[in-house]
Structure 1
């Protein structure tokens, strides 16, 4: 998390940010203190989401495992596997059902392979210095989960029957009751099982805010007794960082960049959002920044559809302005279709157009401390820049990264001296296609393009 005292803007306002149907989180009077002790390996990590069903024609752990060398070369550090458990059949949606309708917390989806296949995947990922977290659905189960033999483990409707989570249309799942201590203990036992017996490295907690916070705090305590784990909450609440979670979703950011890309909000809205981020979250909080994920892709649109000619600009922004960047499987191969959610719909792997692009971003993230996560990262300076552009710099010690994004339809010149860059180009490295200046004292940044410079 950057330090706000190092942000400089020509005209900076701390007004509430409103965009589309989503408003920025309210700023609390006092910034909470995060007490989570992050695993050492996470401080410069990135995260790659894996949809096993759609990753390949086979849709198996073994087929995905064949890609581990490529992902290692790309620089991936954390593999987040969407739910690997058997999917409920009763009241199932679609042909294959939702990944998030879990029928057995200690089981493996037979379509994906066996326990041995999964264990081999985790072991090889570790050999390649990657970590594995799995999706965990603690709020609800499938209608035909064995736990339904204990109706008092669930919230019941006025007729004494099972019911979907309140306020949702999730008719394929039923709500658990966290007032029931036996159920809680069974859930904790299942969480411990995968860390203890399969050596996974943590969890992504589905709809984490719908589950009581004291449950997650206890879960983190028990898991850390086995090994230091990494916990990602599908939530944006600062309280998540108190004891249980290393990282939360930067949802407000994700919503905002889509609105900006559609031309319905100005880039200056990012300034107010980053002010809120700094004020609202603990310094040590990791925030997950992304252009897409399984939900965004399936329900909201493709990368080309949401971001048009500026997809690379938003990807660079998401990887460098703050937090930990997420890549959804297929983005490195120009994922230009919305993957079906309830049936088989494999990724169309093409020429891996963006593989070098993401390799560059992840390598810089790994090596340059200015881009590290949470309090391990550098301060942020946001500069005043011309309309349709965005410029900023991250700095920590001797490490720094300068980013200039041109979202407009015409090329712009970027004067070196305006952005505190060394005039001697031999003192830094350029990661974009722009050539270092020779006799001129500026860079020319093409339309819908980006300039990324860092210390050598």
Structure 2
């Protein structure tokens, strides 16, 4: 419990709190599904698509905005254009819809004009370009012009830290005028650009106490704090540094609703606060959460064909001698997953949400070619990403009835299932392409180049391979056809959501249309929420552009994965990881639903890179085809556990690739797609130990409210040591790391107003508390989690 000497008593607080709960003026059925995502303003003008937020935009009566902004509501009510800039970092706009007001948070633009120059020092270049996180690694988006012998480019960039390189006549090089560099994870370096004062101190907003219907928050910036219940701003009162508000009586009739809050001070935004409610009462125990609480998800990626063969009768390889066995079907299926759920394996390792690889029919023949060393081979479609149908289940995985059984068994065991859906492209045998070849983008560019794998330069048109046409989502008929196809899966099957492949390669209108159809056809009539998470490699600005109330709920945070890989894997400084995590908070919020991965089927296994069986600079695919990748060194298992600790203790949804719970080795595709191993006699002592540690971690994640809804505060950040804490009311969790090659004492300056007499270390490391400082003794490559 918090120290009551330092803390106001509830009785004292009640003297100035607002008293009994009262109703706010809100409709029985909200026009907004879920919590409206904040609107981050653009530099000058911001266009809001009203259907992103409201079920029936035609019912909008008017909008009210802060005095520093002007708002133009289109005649058809489908758009609002905001002009101007906020006076403060945060404010609120109100939509009046069918007689009721809905409040949405506004965030001030933090874009700045940045000029980068390059002095060739007498050397001659035809073209100078920049590619980096600020322009989605697309050199065509930042051409330089030459003035008096010096090249320069100017762009609008959000405050933050960005990696980039220059392109000198097409050759990549770090910026010679910028001494700040960081490892690119592939044996080279990127330049680092810092825009704005990223080191400026941010105000802290903390949960403090509650005595229903009153909730108390603590912050030094109480007068600037904005609090919402659902999508309605609440009246607040404050005294000293304690703010109070009442939970509306409306919440008492709702199984789940939420309180959200933000504040600012000296022009800097705070963290956000998220408090779940059950029938109007603050949830304090994870036992009160259900599988429908997305923040409580712990996700596990199953590559179906390589997981478990539960029904050998449907195992059928592609009969082609050109296919190497590693590139053919192994036999994993729905029955194998269902059996694994029933065996209790997923419960034992603490995951509650399965992400399944695509299940639609793939071609019967071999396609593609590897001839770059080691072997020459074609490939089968065992992975599921070459659809020849968007609605037929691949018979090698099982029948529709077996898939429905899988879903039923998962739900009976408190688990969610989301399906990997491929919309961006189809196989050339897919009827959509066969009947409508003009629905594909052009395979050749106007300059004659093949338009394949140009991921950033031709982001919305590039093909993955010559036999996989990319669909042209600038065409309305393509959007309608493919959104209807996706809708089929959540209407006809009790799926809990989608993982969307190749998200950034599809226009935003597709995602808006799909989400609108899901709301209209599934959520509104049945109340069933469909979670959508996307796959986008690119800048945080690009990734965030797909996330709002009218599109995706989240995406995978590959920038933070790369930072974690470089930090825990290569030994880069924890200071870089701190910077990258703070950047993610800035873009996605402190209570985001982003996916934080241990790895995936497109990457060399973390443990193999860390151990050195595959070097950071070599081609991981080539490595897998040219030699046997051996078991990792012992220290790499410790490093993998540290990476799991990080993913399981930061905000967001931890996502584990099958086999990473114990440390399955592997180079890149297909060596990273080995058969799963479950039995103790299949695993080494190190693998068994890692799986045990992983299970302990997930148990903590699943049972501690702090690790789901707690705030986040960095305490100690050095090259080799890291410590941070998360707190939810009087509960607190502290995570500490030592990645050096020798024992370290990690010192943590503790938060005030907590009684630490019952602090417990979960992994047995020694600690003491002296004068408000926690000192944790950690061996090399180890961690500790302490719980209050």
How far apart, CA to CA, are the structure 2 residues paired with 1:167 and 1:301?
Answer: 31
Structure with greater strand share of residues? 2
**Which of 544, 560, 575 lines up with 1:268 in the alignment?**
575
| Greater RCO (CA < 8 Å, at least 6 residues apart) | 1
How far apart, CA to CA, are the structure 1 residues paired with 2:662 and 2:603?
Answer: 17
The yes-or-no answer on 1:116 pairing with 2:395 is no
User: Is the partner of 2:561 in helix, strand or coil?
Assistant: helix
Equivalent residue number for residue 66 of structure 1: 339
**Which of 520, 532, 538 lines up with 1:231 in the alignment?**
532
How far apart, CA to CA, are the structure 1 residues paired with 2:786 and 2:367?
Answer: 50
**Which of 692, 698, 703 lines up with 1:362 in the alignment?**
698
CA deviations over 1:187-239 (Å, ceiling 9, x no partner): 12211111111111110011111111121122112223412111011125112
- Show structure 2 runs of 5+ residues with no match: 1-36, 38-158, 164-180, 185-189, 198-229, 232-256, 259-290, 310-330, 369-377, 454-460, 523-527, 617-634
Where in structure 2 are the equivalents of 1:155-174 lying within 5 Å?
A: 155-157=441-443, 166-167=461-462, 170-174=465-469
The yes-or-no answer on 1:240 pairing with 2:240 is no
Query: 1:89/1:179 Cα in 2 relative to 1: closer, same or farther (>3 Å)?
Result: farther
User: Is the partner of 1:296 in helix, strand or coil?
Assistant: coil
**Which of 318, 325, 339 lines up with 2:647 in the alignment?**
318
Equivalent residue number for residue 277 of structure 1: 584
The yes-or-no answer on 1:379 pairing with 2:715 is no
User: Is the partner of 1:43 in helix, strand or coil?
Assistant: helix
User: Is the partner of 2:603 in helix, strand or coil?
Assistant: helix
Equivalent residue number for residue 32 of structure 1: none
Of 187-196 and 149-158, the range deviating more from structure 2 = 149-158
The yes-or-no answer on 1:46 pairing with 2:298 is yes
CA deviations over 1:102-146 (Å, ceiling 9, x no partner): 111101122111111111111100111111111111110011111
Where in structure 2 are the equivalents of 1:75-154 lying within 5 Å?
A: 75-89=350-364, 92-93=367-368, 94-97=378-381, 98-148=383-433, 149-154=435-440
User: Is the partner of 1:316 in helix, strand or coil?
Assistant: helix
Equivalent residue number for residue 760 of structure 2: 429
Q: CA deviation at 1:303?
A: 6.5
**Which of 515, 529, 536 lines up with 1:220 in the alignment?**
515
Equivalent residue number for residue 372 of structure 2: none
Query: 1:179/1:169 Cα in 2 relative to 1: closer, same or farther (>3 Å)?
Result: closer
Query: 1:319/1:153 Cα in 2 relative to 1: closer, same or farther (>3 Å)?
Result: same
Q: Is the Cα–Cα contact under 8 Å of residues 296 and 702 in structure 2 kept in the other structure? A: yes
TM-score normalised by the chain length of structure 1: 0.83
How far apart, CA to CA, are the structure 2 residues paired with 1:49 and 1:91?
Answer: 25
How far apart, CA to CA, are the structure 2 residues paired with 1:249 and 1:23?
Answer: 24
CA deviations over 1:70-108 (Å, ceiling 9, x no partner): 102322121000111122356723332352111111011
TM-score normalised by the chain length of structure 2: 0.50
Equivalent residue number for residue 485 of structure 2: 190
Equivalent residue number for residue 402 of structure 1: 734
Q: CA deviation at 1:269?
A: 0.7
User: Is the partner of 1:384 in helix, strand or coil?
Assistant: strand
Of 109-118 and 14-23, the range deviating more from structure 2 = 14-23
User: Is the partner of 1:49 in helix, strand or coil?
Assistant: strand
User: Is the partner of 2:776 in helix, strand or coil?
Assistant: strand
Equivalent residue number for residue 176 of structure 1: 471
Q: CA deviation at 1:180?
A: 2.6
Q: Is the Cα–Cα contact under 8 Å of residues 54 and 339 in structure 1 kept in the other structure? A: no
Q: Is the Cα–Cα contact under 8 Å of residues 289 and 326 in structure 1 kept in the other structure? A: yes
Q: CA deviation at 1:304?
A: 4.6
Q: Is the Cα–Cα contact under 8 Å of residues 428 and 469 in structure 2 kept in the other structure? A: yes
How far apart, CA to CA, are the structure 1 residues paired with 2:610 and 2:297?
Answer: 23
- Show structure 1 runs of 5+ residues with no match: 2-12, 30-34
Query: 1:254/1:143 Cα in 2 relative to 1: closer, same or farther (>3 Å)?
Result: same
User: Is the partner of 1:289 in helix, strand or coil?
Assistant: strand
Equivalent residue number for residue 296 of structure 1: 603
Q: CA deviation at 1:48?
A: 0.5
Structure with greater helix share of residues? 1
Of 427-436 and 197-206, the range deviating more from structure 2 = 427-436
Query: 1:303/1:232 Cα in 2 relative to 1: closer, same or farther (>3 Å)?
Result: farther
How far apart, CA to CA, are the structure 2 residues paired with 1:230 and 1:441?
Answer: 40
Q: Is the Cα–Cα contact under 8 Å of residues 606 and 640 in structure 2 kept in the other structure? A: no
Q: CA deviation at 1:329?
A: 0.9
Q: CA deviation at 1:367?
A: 2.4
Q: CA deviation at 1:176?
A: 0.5
Equivalent residue number for residue 334 of structure 1: 663
The yes-or-no answer on 1:19 pairing with 2:352 is no
Q: CA RMSD in A?
A: 3.6
